[in-house]
């Protein structure tokens, strides 16, 4: 038995005096959960034919990014000359049907030539990749068995609440069938590289090898798939992220039926509405998704949405943060119509939009023909040359020359508030109207002195200043 949060709070209010010691709350017993659920959890290993030179990102490797790194596998030296498949990665998964369908992360099996599944009775069998979805990091496997296999019970991730107990079962660092526990920390988290998944954030200890394993509620039901961690060391640091099982099963049904996942698409580039933007647009508080680009001929363009519109509701669901909009749009079937509520020039308006189908990843990154862009530089931004498309969408006069900011990565530009969609016309008193001039100018910028930059934002020009250090 353990005291629930509700009764605990009530007892404090009624019985605890200011000088009394804080009572200890018992941790729930996970023994029964583990006994009942663990037989349906599997260990997954993969093999790949050696390439001329290969390396797999692993925990703690210097080449891994500092945050939200994918965690699986071990570093490989130069591939041997032998054609024998070599170990590539380790992970977890769980059986979702007694005839052998298994759910795991795409990054656990991506690029594998052979997938080996180890069951709870320690038997091993080869698995077939039914299909995968890179955007949501999901993969469905199939194994053959002469007997019905144990399966997990699926829960309702929409009923998850911050503060509730959860547990993970998997193979961290290949220590098979390890269970760890914690609580749900937050819901509907949007991560930088995964804008189509409303992640469940937990403080459950998750490490390399847990990837693809189940996240259980106290009823022993799967409510998520452990997928990512926040780490600077390669190991657990208190922030873990799981794909909600409701979202996963929506993708699984498509993968099982056609081998891939289709998503809805609005055809806009968006950004977060911060306090300054909210004030400038006449909002009482920061909320919504600010459109900074509309793809020509896309669904939003056909619905007459414009750059500068702030989407506040989609299909009657509030959009509090910009990251939640792609999630809402993505689960709408292409061809279906959706309602969009937005603010334009301080007025609240509504429209109907016929949702399109999300293009492939290359088309998604901008949704426009290729144009010359700069690489990342000392300012931490990428820019592109203005063309008729950009001029139209940004409502710029033909006589304006400059470069449009397509990406703000880090560093000085982010610190001084440069935003995607800004048009840079001058840097350090030099007119920049081509990528070549821009790159040359940025390389020659002085250090430890004030530098001016002229920026046009939403049709309004202005100067901002910054300093570069050694």
Query: Which residues does the annotation mark as catalytic?
Result: 107, 137, 211
Helix or strand holding residue 404 (H, E) = strand 403-408
Torsion of CA 97, 326, 322, 416, to 10 degrees: 110
Asked if 70 and 107 count as a contact pair (C-beta separation under 8 A), the reply is: yes
56/296 Cα distance (integer angstroms): 39
Asked if 90 and 107 count as a contact pair (C-beta separation under 8 A), the reply is: no
Helix or strand holding residue 46 (H, E) = strand 41-48
C-alpha 155 chain-centroid distance: 22
Furthest-apart CA atoms within the chain: distance in Å:
76
Closest listed residue to residue 442, CA positions, set 416, 418, 468 = 468
CB atoms within 10 A of CB 20: 9
327/62 Cα distance (integer angstroms): 32
Distances from the Cα of 149 to the Cα of 109, 129, 179, angstroms: 21, 18, 21
Give first-to-last CA distance, the chain, whole Å.
60
**DSSP-based three-state secondary structure for 354:** strand
DSSP state of 255: H
CB atoms within 10 A of CB 260: 12
Helix or strand holding residue 325 (H, E) = helix 324-330
Which of left, alpha, beta for 325 (phi over 0: left; psi -120 to 50: alpha)?
A: alpha
CB atoms within 10 A of CB 232: 12
435/432 Cα distance (integer angstroms): 8
**DSSP-based three-state secondary structure for 301:** helix
**DSSP-based three-state secondary structure for 153:** strand
Closest listed residue to residue 208, CA positions, set 183, 231, 181 = 231
332/320 Cα distance (integer angstroms): 19
Three-state secondary structure of 93-156: EEECCCCCEEEECHHHHCCCCEEEEECCCCCEEEEEEEEEECCCCEEEEECCCCCCCCCCEECC
355/335 Cα distance (integer angstroms): 5
């Amino acid at each position: 038995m353990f005291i629930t949060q509700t009764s605990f709070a009530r007892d404090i209010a009624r019985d605890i005096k200011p000088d009394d010691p804080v009572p200890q709350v018992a941790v729930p017993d996970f023994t029964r959960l583990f006994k009942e659920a663990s037989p349906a959890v599997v260990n997954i290993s993969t093999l790949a034919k050696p390439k001329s030179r290969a390396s797999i990102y692993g925990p703690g490797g210097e080449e891994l990014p500092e945050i939200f790194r994918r965690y699986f596998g071990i570093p490989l030296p130069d591939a041997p000359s032998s054609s024998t498949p070599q170990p590539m990665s380790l992970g977890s998964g769980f059986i979702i049907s007694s005839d052998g369908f298994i759910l795991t992360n795409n990054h656990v099996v991506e690029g594998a030539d052979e997938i080996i599944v180890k069951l709870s009775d320690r038997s091993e069998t080869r698995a077939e990749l039914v299909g995968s979805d890179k955007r949501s990091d999901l993969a469905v496997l199939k194994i053959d068995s002469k007997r019905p296999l144990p399966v997990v019970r699926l829960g309702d991730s929409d009923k998850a609440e911050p503060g509730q107990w959860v547990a993970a079962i998997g193979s961290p660092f290949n220590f098979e069938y390890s269970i760890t526990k914690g609580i749900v920390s937050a819901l509907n988290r949007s991560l930088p590289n995964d804008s189509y998944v409303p992640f469940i954030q937990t403080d459950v200890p998750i490490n390399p090898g847990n990837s693809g394993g189940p996240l259980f509620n106290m009823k022993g039901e799967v409510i998520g798939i452990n997928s990512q961690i926040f780490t600077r060391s390669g190991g657990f640091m208190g922030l873990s992220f799981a794909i909600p099982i409701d979202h996963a099963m929506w993708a699984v049904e498509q993968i099982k039926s056609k081998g891939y996942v289709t998503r809805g698409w609005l055809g806009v580039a968006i950004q977060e509405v911060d306090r300054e933007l909210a004030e400038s647009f006449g909002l009482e508080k920061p909320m919504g998704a600010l459109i900074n680009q509309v793809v020509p001929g896309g669904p939003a363009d056909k619905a007459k949405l414009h750059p500068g519109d702030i989407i506040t509701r989609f299909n009657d669901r509030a959009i509090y943060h910009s990251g939640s909009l792609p999630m809402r749009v993505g689960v709408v079937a292409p061809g279906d119509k959706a309602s969009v509520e937005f603010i334009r020039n301080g007025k609240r308006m509504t429209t109907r939009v016929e949702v399109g189908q999300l293009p492939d990843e290359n088309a998604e990154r901008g949704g426009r023909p290729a144009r010359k862009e700069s690489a990342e530089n000392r300012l931490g931004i990428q820019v592109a040359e203005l063309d008729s498309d950009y001029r139209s969408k940004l409502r710029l006069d033909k006589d304006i020359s400059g470069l449009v900011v397509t990406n703000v990565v880090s560093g000085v530009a982010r610190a001084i508030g440069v935003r995607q969609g800004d048009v840079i016309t001058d840097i350090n008193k030099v007119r920049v109207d081509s990528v070549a001039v821009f790159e040359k100018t940025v390389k020659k910028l002085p250090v430890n002195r004030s530098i001016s930059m002229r920026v046009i934002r939403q049709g309004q020009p202005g100067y901002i200043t910054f300093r570069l250090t050694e």
